[in-house]
Amino acid sequence: MSPNEIYAIAEEQLKSFTRSKIRTQIMLSLLERAKSSSDLSTETGIRNTTILHAIRDMSDSEIITRTGDGYDLTNLGKMQAYLLDDMVNFVQIVEKYRHFWKNHDITGIPTKLIPRMGMLIESEIIEGNPAEVLKSQEYFISELSNAKMIQCVSPIIVPGYAEAIATALMNGAEVDLILTGEILDIVAENYSDLLNELLKLETFRLYRIDTDVTVAFTVTDKILVLGLFRMDGGYDVGTDLNCIGDSAREWGSELFECYLKISEEIESL
């Protein structure tokens, strides 16, 4: 079946997802719990008569059902509402950081994770300025030192990074670190004693990846810090996307697992 044929089958349902602001607001509101029409009216600021009209249409489509607690989503409604919620978050993250995505290389993010980038909705850009060029890196090192869990992929050298990792480990953190071959060689040359000591710890695991990596990121128990290379091939050391929340950490851990699958563990230098 061709893409055009697949789209033709799904066209009407796709249009129904976005054709009505009222419908969308009702579905997203009912994801929380069952509500009365007056509750929905108060929450959305839409007249009760308009809410009831939309509910009748959605009931006919088997999206909403009447329960003892008010109106609720059917299983079909829940499935559509979860997708809507993901779509809304995806659009927000793309538009909010349009400049960031447009001017950076995103090929290091697996295609299966791109549609789920709405999971990064609780985020902000940390960007340096002429007075604080490395503001993003300073924030990153501070967070790293206090982390209890660290998953990291790094194709770059970050000043203070090795010391921050060591501090976190001494404080009981679990650390999984993936370095490109080039960076691992540099680290081994400059931090051989420290690295050999860390490799003796059960809580530290080091990996080597022998492929081009165009994304630098760290997942901790509190944050996901995501950095990208610019379109000209240079790493943007002054700009990071910092994300909080369970969904962002879940997304980051899945990204880490993608790189872990193509990495080799290093047990000794």
Q: What is the CATH number of the domain that holds 16?
A: 1.10.10.10
SS3 124: strand
Distances from the Cα of 118 to the Cα of 8, 228, 245, angstroms: 26, 18, 12
Residue 145: CATH number of its domain: 3.30.870.10
Tell me: do 51 and 141 sit in the same domain. no
Domain range for 77 is 3-86
**Domain assignment of residue 38, yes or no:** yes
Sequence-distant (≥ 6) Cβ neighbours of residue 51 within 8 angstroms: 22, 26, 37, 40, 41, 44
30/80 Cα distance (integer angstroms): 12
Each residue's pLDDT, cut to its tens digit, for the chain (269 residues) gives 666 766 666 666 666 666 678 888 999 999 999 999 999 999 999 999 999 999 999 999 899 999 988 999 999 999 989 988 998 999 999 999 999 999 999 999 999 999 999 999 999 988 755 444 455 677 778 888 889 999 999 998 877 888 888 899 999 999 999 999 999 999 888 888 888 888 899 999 999 999 989 999 999 999 999 999 999 989 887 788 999 999 999 999 999 999 999 999 998 77
Tell me: do 110 and 224 sit in the same domain. yes
- Which of 53, 86, 119 terminates a domain? The answer is 86
- Which of 62, 86, 110 terminates a domain? The answer is 86
Tell me: do 112 and 82 sit in the same domain. no
Tell me: do 195 and 258 sit in the same domain. yes
Tell me: do 251 and 175 sit in the same domain. yes
Tell me: do 54 and 142 sit in the same domain. no
**Domain assignment of residue 56, yes or no:** yes
Tell me: do 130 and 43 sit in the same domain. no
Helix (H) or strand (E) holding 138: helix 135-145
- Which of 86, 110, 126 terminates a domain? The answer is 86
Q: Which amino acid is at 66?
A: R
Tokens in use for 123?
């985020």
Reference 40, options 22, 58, 57, 56; nearest CA is 22
**Domain assignment of residue 164, yes or no:** yes
Sequence-distant (≥ 6) Cβ neighbours of residue 172 within 8 angstroms: 148, 203
252/179 Cα distance (integer angstroms): 16
Tell me: do 180 and 78 sit in the same domain. no
106/83 Cα distance (integer angstroms): 23
Q: What is the pLDDT of residue 128?
A: 58
DSSP state of 215: E
**Domain assignment of residue 147, yes or no:** yes
**Domain assignment of residue 92, yes or no:** no
Q: What is the pLDDT of residue 267?
A: 84
Tell me: do 236 and 133 sit in the same domain. yes
245/222 Cα distance (integer angstroms): 7
Model pTM above 0.75:
yes
- Give φ, ψ of 104 to 5 degrees: -130, 160
Q: What is the pLDDT of residue 135?
A: 59
Q: What is the pLDDT of residue 34?
A: 94
Q: What is the pLDDT of residue 17?
A: 63
Q: What is the pLDDT of residue 131?
A: 44
Tokens in use for 121?
């909705």
Tokens in use for 104?
């950076």
Q: How many domains does the chain have?
A: 2
